[in-house]
Amino acid sequence: MNVARKLYIKSFGCQMNVYDSHRMADTLASEGFTETPRIEDADLVILNTCHIRDKAQDKVFSELGRVRAIKEAAARSGRQLTIAVAGCVAQAQGEEIIRRSPAVDIVVGPQSYHRLPALLERAKRDGRAIDTEFPVEDKFDNLPPPPREATRTRGVCAFVTVQEGCDKFCTFCVVPYTRGSEFSRPVLKIVSEVERLAESGVREVTLIGQNVNAYHGDGPDGRAWPLGRLLAHLSELPGIARLRYTTSHPADMDASLIAAHRDLPKLMPYLHLPAQSGSDRILAAMKRRYRRADYLRLIERLRAVQPNIAFSSDFIVGFPGETEDDFKATLSLVDAVGYAGAFSFKYSARPGTPAAELPDQVPEAQKSERLYRLQAAIDRNCARFNAQWQGRAVLVLFEKGGRYSGQIVGRSPYLQPVQVMASRDLIGRLASVRITRVSSNSLFGVLAPDADRLAREQHQLSAGA
């Protein structure tokens, strides 16, 4: 018999970490752990960490300071708290973490989560356990599938990892080192996970991978399936109303994926397509494998098959050697595309990556100034995108209750939160909403049965049907 124990798990960074955290919780559920939202009640704390930029990593060490204090308080009252560091900082720093934070008991890299129960045993026996290998066995085959009840409590929208790792080696990025080389899960494994999620009430699935559109998993016909084909197959599954995928590399948008945006009504017309920079000189130094003109041509091809498509992006400012002219090229790309949203980051030199060794590192003050200007340009574009929805009908997938009683919240095809006064019975369903007010990050509207036809037309149009 397993003793009932409590698990507190906190994710930093990307959606893949959120997914991994759920899978770790599922694995530990079979060891008798139940999740708690209160760190003070926990027997095991897992910090699932991110290494992508300095700031993300610093957050982990400040959080560890807080957890150590809680561990000490627990020890004074005779309770033992185990601390595990998982994720990409664990992978990159290994033992160094325990040297810096001796209160840590377990360090586990992203490819070894299925070994957590064994690591807990080892930590109990030896006081410490570290596993940052890239094991030969596949962690996905060794992690239990998500339990039906757990997914129900996790809501209407779910993430499913279909691809992990990256072989692109952009010169600024740690991902190829922390997550390892590209790996695609087989089609049937993904299908059964999505079926399970649909049975438990999930309506929207986002396929995730560091380089998701490099997906090439084994299909049931013995061939490697591209992402477009996988999406077409998943869109036939009962219960699934919406599909998304993220994050894509512009050089991997193949014909099957572009066709999917034309042919699949359930594939949302919203694509995260990180450009990183608008300057050819910087794109080359980043080893991004496309030029500005290629990126813009790709945007045009997608718009040609799917006129309602909108884009979001990631940008880095202050990459080594970036001049004012290079930066202006990024600003002009933002305006040329007219993004619905974008994330922007100051370049952060990551140890072990080629760009960290480049001369001409940009001074911090200049990075801050460029970030400020870029964010202003992005905000302008985003506000313009949102404003166009005023008075129009959108199809909303309702996810949960809102902040005020009687209010529910869902998302538009473009991930905009939409707030409506309506019955909670609509949660988990698609309904048409006429937008009455647009704020900086939300849309407000009323249920609009009369707008139903309009919204469906729009949806069909967006499907190219």
218: left (phi over 0), alpha (psi -120 to 50) or beta: beta
Cis status, amide bond into 247, omega within 30 of 0: yes
Task: Please identify, among the stretches 21-29, 98-106, 151-159, 172-180, the one whose residues bind ligand SF4 according to the rule CB under 6 A.
Answer: 172-180
Residue among 214 and 396 whose Cβ is closer to ligand SF4: 214
Q: Does 176 bind ligand SF4 (CB under 6 A)?
A: yes
Task: Please identify, among the stretches 170-178, 258-266, 290-298, 318-326, the one whose residues bind ligand SF4 according to the rule CB under 6 A.
Answer: 170-178
Show the binding pattern over residues 339-378: x = contacts ligand 5AD (CB under 6 A), - = does not: ------x-xx-x----------------------------
Q: Does 114 bind ligand 5AD (CB under 6 A)?
A: no
Both tokens assigned to 264? 């699949």
Residues near ligand 5AD (CB under 6 A), total: 12
**Which does residue 52 touch among ligand 5AD, ligand SF4, none (CB within 5 to 8 A, set by kind)?**
ligand 5AD
| Residue in the block written with tokens 């036939």 | 236
**Which does residue 210 touch among ligand SF4, ligand 5AD, none (CB within 5 to 8 A, set by kind)?**
ligand SF4
Write the DSSP string, 75-137: HHTT---EEEEEHHHHHHHTHHHHHH-TT--EEE-TT-GGGHHHHHHHHHHHS-EEE----SS
| Residue in the block written with tokens 């139903």 | 452
Show the binding pattern over residues 30-69: x = contacts ligand 5AD (CB under 6 A), - = does not: ----------------------xx----------------
Among 165, 180, 274, 278, which residue sits at the site for ligand 5AD (rule: CB under 6 A)? 274
Enclosing H/E stretch for 418 = strand 417-421
Among 92, 162, 170, 382, which residue sits at the site for ligand SF4 (rule: CB under 6 A)? 170
Integer-rounded Cα radius of gyration of the chain: 23
Alpha-helical regions (H) of 338-434:
364-387
Q: Does 276 bind ligand 5AD (CB under 6 A)?
A: yes
Site for ligand SF4 in 247-266 (CB under 6 A): 249
Q: Quick check: 373 and 129 in contact, CB under 8 A?
A: no
> CB within 8 A of 339, min separation 6: which ones?
310, 311, 312, 313, 378, 381, 382, 385
Among 175, 333, 420, 455, which residue sits at the site for ligand SF4 (rule: CB under 6 A)? 175
Site for ligand SF4 in 203-222 (CB under 6 A): 210-211
Query: In sequence order, what are the beta bridge partners of 87?
Result: 49
Quote the CA–CA distance of 118 and 95 in Å, as a whole number.
18
Contacts to ligand 5AD by CB under 6 A: 52-53, 172-173, 274, 276, 314, 316, 345, 347-348, 350
Contacts to ligand SF4 by CB under 6 A: 166, 168-170, 173, 175-176, 210-211, 249
